[in-house]
Amino acid sequence: MSFITDSPIWRPYTQHSLQPGAFKIARAEGAWLETEDGKRFLDAISSWWVITHGHRHPAIMRAIREETERLDQIIFAGFTHEPAEALARRLVALTPPGLDYVFYSDSGSTCVEAAIKMALGFWRNRGEPRARIVALEHGYHGDTVGTMSVGARSPFNEPYEPLLYEVTRIPFPASGREQQTLDALERACRDRPAALLAEPLILGAGGMLIYGADTLKEMRRICAQYGVLFIADEVMTGFGRSGTLFACEQADVVPDIACYAKGLTGGALPLAVTMCRREIFEAHLSPERARAFFHSSSYTANPIACAAALANLDLWATGEPLSRIAALRDMQATRIARFADDARFSNARRLGTITALDLNVAQGGYLATIALDLMRFFNARGLLLRPLGPTIYVLPPYCIEEAELDLVYDAIAEAADRFGGGQAP
């Protein structure tokens, strides 16, 4: 059976009473997933935003196989290995200039946690303790307690609210209201917070909310003016998703600390890095052991994951993925344009390889379950799409082809016939 209902597995972000089963995938290749009995799904969300080039890219799979002939996990304090050394050197060369140190971890949440701890350690070690983080409204930075705290408060984290620390939230820079964000940031900076943490150019889980490079550049400038650290969470935007290798490039911005995860290995294996400027590393240098950066995870710099990341960087070095994402950007742009004046949708938008639009949901209490209803509707058509509430987004692996994208957008139009019909808010 390819739809599993009898399983001891407790799945992520799943209300098991509403979603009692899961499709069991036996094979993956390119943009496609396939069950044992041959049911196919077009993976239009890159398996939760991690797969970049496509599933099982041959060069990345080969690198993983080869590394397993040499190394598995190696303790990373006092010991090191070539995949981690080579990867760190290449990341320093590839990322915005000034990000000179690389701290390894294993997921988006852990690399953001590390970033927050680095920021606090920096201020404390300079004898000027600061603890407040400024964050964008609707932000998402992970599901650990620390990253939930900086993310948007929602029904998803309400039960944990008592454990979440306070942050200063500034409004999302919606089109036409950018100045409010910048003013709020400036006010927040006067209270000497440790850092501003933000997803550059697009807030992913918050609803694929897009803002301009000019605003990002201004936000960075204000941080620099007030001596507040700027942390860029490029976990989702990194490695091509935003249309450039890194989203910060589009604003010509160098963060003080940058977080990369999902696409770092092309999505094949869990690996993350927190990169920082020299001053932040150096603030932790001291004859006193207590000033060290006390953070680790068991699988820090896993050599096999590092080998996958190196193969991924080799791919980017050919220039091929950049031309591929430029082509994908155009393919996406022509298709989303079809919905720009469609009264059943609002806010058709795009950034790089990503498009999104909000379905104006019909009256009648659909809103609570609309995402689930839409997901089932798409699944039944052989499409993996996972709307965020009424927001449908397309975030495909870069190998997706024109005809495959047409399947996605035709299904979106059909979904509007079925579930749409509400008034624009």
222 binds ligand PLP (CB under 6 A): no
Question: Burial, 421: exposed, middle or buried (Cβ in 10 Å; 0-12, 13-18, 19+)?
Answer: middle
- Rank residues 348 and 388 by Cβ distance to ligand PLP and give the closer one: 388
Can you state the percent helix, strand and coil of the chain, rounding each to 5?
Answer: 40, 20, 45
Q: List residues bridging with 276 in a β-sheet.
A: 101, 257
Tell me which residue of 263, 258, 235 sits closest to 96, measured CA to CA: 258
13 catalytic? Reply is yes
Q: List residues bridging with 230 in a β-sheet.
A: 196
- Rank residues 42 and 261 by Cβ distance to ligand PLP and give the closer one: 261
Query: How many residues of this chain interact with ligand PLP, rule: CB under 6 A?
Result: 14
- Rank residues 234 and 404 by Cβ distance to ligand PLP and give the closer one: 234
Of the residues 121, 146, 200, 204, which one makes contact with ligand PLP according to CB under 6 A: 204
Catalytic residue among 101, 104, 211, 233: 233
Minimum Å gap between C-beta 251 and ligand PLP is 16
Catalytic residue among 43, 104, 262, 358: 262
Binding to ligand PLP, residues 86-115 (CB under 6 A): 107-109, 112
> How far apart are the C-alpha atoms of 232 and 307, rounded to whole Å?
25
Catalytic residue among 6, 13, 72, 417: 13
SS3 call for 69: coil
Q: List residues bridging with 350 in a β-sheet.
A: 355
Give the start-end residues of each E strand in 173-224: 195-198, 202-203, 209-210
236 binds ligand PLP (CB under 6 A): yes
Give me the residue whose beta carbon is nearest to ligand PLP.
108
Say if residues 405 and 335 touch (Cβ distance below 8 Å).
yes
Binding to ligand PLP, residues 246-265 (CB under 6 A): 261
235 binds ligand PLP (CB under 6 A): yes
Say if residues 421 and 359 touch (Cβ distance below 8 Å).
no
140 catalytic? Reply is yes
Q: What token pair was written down for 107? A: 């997921």
Binding site for ligand PLP (CB under 6 A): 107-109, 112, 140-142, 199, 204-205, 233, 235-236, 261
Catalytic residues: 13, 140, 233, 262
